[in-house]
Chains A and B, each alone.
Chain A
Amino acid sequence: MKGDTASKAELLKAADLSRVYRGGKGVFGINLALEPGEVVGLMGPNGSGKTTLLRMLATASTPTSGSVSWFGNSNSREPSVRRRLGVVLDQAAHFEQMTGYQNAWFFAHQFGILPELARGRLDELFRWSGIWEARDQLVREYSLGMKRRLNLVEALVHRPQILLLDEPSLALDYRAELDLIERLQLLTLTGTAIVLATNDVHLAERLSDRILFLHQGNVIREGRVPDLLTELAGSKEVQLQMSSPVSLDKVRALPSVQAANVEGDTVHIVLARGANPAEVLAVLNGTADLVSNMRVRRPNLGDVFLKLTGVALPATHD
């Protein structure tokens, strides 16, 4: 929807992009193109390569092979490229001995924003992000959530054309997350493109036009959010909270079970359209008394990933 109103020129293009670390881990052969106003979500479990990929796209890391071009320029050190990127990295890195406002002022100036313009924009962004009252506090006194909000302020102040966000909703409360979604949706209407590395299913579903599922450094599936969800249309996810460990072999053997996985004390089972959750309980017959809680909900992107890989995304929202 967002790409329809903007030109189809590619703001960012990654071709056969790889970054290999010692030990063989990394990301391999990634292709990605980003149009104005488009939001691409990168999803995958911890260690799947989301942060590595995002860092390369943010010019913070050099690929082992392949190429990235930003606005048609493949020189990652070119200041005119970096000035048009807004980046929130995985670490909420700040100068801890300086106040939040001093930090944001410094970064605004680095991106070439004139003082009078910076003042107006920072005041608005600090108010929007809910840290206005804490603007003159030292960052070392900030909570993680406040530091992440400050990261967002710093990434947005120079009105970048591409936003590269690594877990932007991390440590945000629900209200702040809704505000973030609203702000980012508005930005896409003005042509800002976003790459979003996240395991927050709610955020990814609300914002993303396309999703790249990453697993062990490879893109295992790419598609538009509605298309991906349609694959599981009519199916449902059953969450069983167990009071002791349980084997899922028999459950997985059921024809109606599309995926099953254990995460901590919770069993996640994706059931096909029309399947009855009671079937699962019947199979777990001998152990059903160990089920301390049961929930059934509509499937989300986390379930699509579970179906594809058999691995659950961490910290997915309901």
Chain B
Amino acid sequence: MLAGSVWQRELVEFSQRRRALVIKLLFPLLIAIPLLFSRAPVVYVAMALTMLIAIIGALGAGAVLTRERLLGLTVRYRTLPVTPGRLLLERLSINAAIDLLQLLPVLLLIGIRHPAQIAWWPALLLTTAAVLLIGNLLGAVASLLSDSPGEVMLYVFIPLLPVLFLSGVFTPLNDPVLLVASRFLPFSYLHEALLGALGGQPNLLLWETVLAGFGFLVGAAGLTGRLGRRVLEAE
């Protein structure tokens, strides 16, 4: 299989790593199945799945880009006749799409387990895609600070955990200022979509979550294009 474009190359490389492919597909299911088929309160299931989705997005891209920088591939990217914005957007978009594919069985299980809440599924899909792309972007920025693929975890978790807290993922936010702040963070909408899809009690309406998911997805794509030079041409 030959790949000429950046996104095709990502797909080819991904499909050729058979063991990684199996682990990547099974890992979210191993976490999600016990959660979805137990009597765990919806709010805890939504919290755990929000964290899972955020971490999957951020860690993959961060580790891969750090490894590529150490190998000298990032320097080679700079000699290609492609703008860095397009290159990063293609890379992170396809990585996020692969992550979404990895999480699709989990999302399908949610739909099967809670068929009455199927109306929330589009919101869940959109907010998951947005969080994955933003997570990939966070990982890409974290890779600039890291000297090893392991170290990138540290730089991903440092901003991710407080942001998840501010999104109201861990505890409901009663303070009006924090509540407003949470609406600027994509994780809060994913959390709401999960609450809705799992039969819980979301604080937002369905259309608000769909709109926010779409907005964050487009915004993340735009930001990725703009940060291309900063991420790929940092020396």
A positions within 8 Å CB-CB of B: 55, 58-62, 77, 79-83, 85, 87, 89-98, 101-102, 105-112, 115
Contact = CB atoms under 8 A, between A and B. Distances in A.
B81 A109 contact: no
Interface in B58-104: 68, 71-73, 75-76, 78-84
B3 A102 contact: yes
Contacts of B13: 95, 97-98
Nearest to B87: A110
A95 B73 CA distance: 8
A105 B71 contact: no
A97 B82 CA distance: 22
Nearest to B77: A60
B12 A98 contact: yes
B16 interface: yes
A93 B16 contact: no
B4 interface: yes
B175 interface: no
A105 B4 contact: yes
B235 A106 contact: no
A110 B71 contact: no
B17 interface: yes
A81 B84 CA distance: 15
Contact of A105 (B3, B17, B83, B233): B3
Q: 5 closest pairs, A vs B, by CB?
A: A109-B4, A91-B72, A93-B72, A79-B81, A82-B81
A111 B80 CA distance: 7
6 contacts: A77-B84, A79-B81, A89-B79, A95-B73, A97-B16, A101-B2
Contacts of B80: 82, 107, 110-111
Given A89-B76, A93-B76, A111 B4 contact: no
A59 B12 CA distance: 28
Nearest to B9: A106
A93 B73 contact: yes
A81 B79 CA distance: 10
B141 to A, nearest CB: 20
B73 A82 contact: no
